[in-house]
Amino acid sequence: MDTKAFKRSLHKSEQYHRTGFGHDQAVTSLLQSEYNSHLIQQIRDNGYRLQQGEVTIRLAEAFGFCWGVERAIALAYETRRQFPQERIWITNEIIHNPSVNQNLRDMAVEFIPVQSSGQKDFSVVAQNDVVILPAFGASVQEMQLLNDKGCTIMDTTCPWVSKVWNSVEKHKKGAYTSIIHGKYKHEETIATSSFAGTYLVVLNLEEAEYVADYILNPGDTPQERESRRTEFMTQFANAYSPGFDPETDLVRIGIANQTTMLKGETEQIGKLFERTMMRKYGPASVNQHFLSFNTICDATQERQDAMFQLVDEPLDLMVVIGGFNSSNTTHLQEISIERQIPSYHIDSAARIGPGNQVEHKPLNCDLTITEDWLPAGPLVVGITSGASTPDRVVSDVVAKIFAIKNAPVEALGSC
């Protein structure tokens, strides 16, 4: 399928929308009342620090909603205002935040059901329905299906995600295999891979090193090569394009990424493959075998940089707030863990209490409850949140921490 031509055709359709409908002022006012916080703004104005009793709160200097997330939510709200009576669907969570998604449900925006096989059931969508594509984007196959049905489409895809799609389109045009740094089951990576030609998804630097080693050492004898190939295909089952063959499809490669991955790791992976292709084909020929574009999201980078800065300070513990299925939030948690700071990933203030307990998600583990998580005595608490987390949620968490430590939140102003 010529995905580039399809996108051009779709963008010209009168049923397709990427901008609002003129309800900006009303929607902005509504979003501010639902998601902003006076308390968090006060802490920002106070140098991202606030002390109350024995508790000092240190906010990261970049956290919470990014521009792409705010844009996606605003467009979804505008869509409901523009189509007050129509049935509206969304192909996935608009962003990875439970309260925001629940707000959409309360506005009678329905989510495409997922069958037991994991496939979405688009049979529920009728011709005159309105369908919202979330900030992560949607696969080209989903877009084509909705377009063929004659649906009205509101595309809230973040422009940074679209930038990655453009990169893999360039890979495809030049007959390069796209090496995508991401999680192959993540909505964004699924969408990105649908615009690629040949692709392979690597989760982390360790998997990238495995691929690099295969490129340099595919085996000397036919038996060794077949054994290594079989092992490779097993290692990356479900993470490559149909018909992928590592013996022929790793000769020319281009790098792309899920925009929410760790910036430093994406850069390491890019440099690793550049060195690998230099060793394999020589410095003079590397440009014929390797392509790299900067597709790291600015907002993701800013939040990660701010987190690295925050964990360099003396902190007693760290609270990371965001959806448990939020990739960018999980990577913020990883930064804290690397610095060996006690860290608690929660998705809302409802996870705190009753009493001095917290229900949180340790990295790569199930939810667990920790008692007496806030120790007695003076305490410095670092707080950050993922790009899908409203300030109001952060404010509620701060208020609960102060309440547990007997620091009256009302003295700080309304939240």
Q: Cite the active site residues.
A: 188
256 Cβ partners below 8 Å, 6+ apart? 164, 167, 168, 171, 178, 179, 180, 181, 192, 196, 293, 295
Burial of 211 (0-12, 13-18, 19+ CB in 10 A): buried
Single out the residue of 164, 152, 99, 160 nearest to residue 135, CA to CA.
160
First-last CA distance in the chain: 51
Q: Phi and psi dihedrals of 255, rounded to 5?
A: -105, 135
Peptide bond into 362 cis (omega under 30): no
Whether 170 and 191 have beta carbons less than 8 Å apart is answered as no
Burial of 163 (0-12, 13-18, 19+ CB in 10 A): middle
**Pairwise CA distance, residues 314 & 306, whole Å:** 15
Whether 158 and 68 have beta carbons less than 8 Å apart is answered as yes
Whether 342 and 371 have beta carbons less than 8 Å apart is answered as no
Whether 75 and 31 have beta carbons less than 8 Å apart is answered as no
**Pairwise CA distance, residues 92 & 90, whole Å:** 6
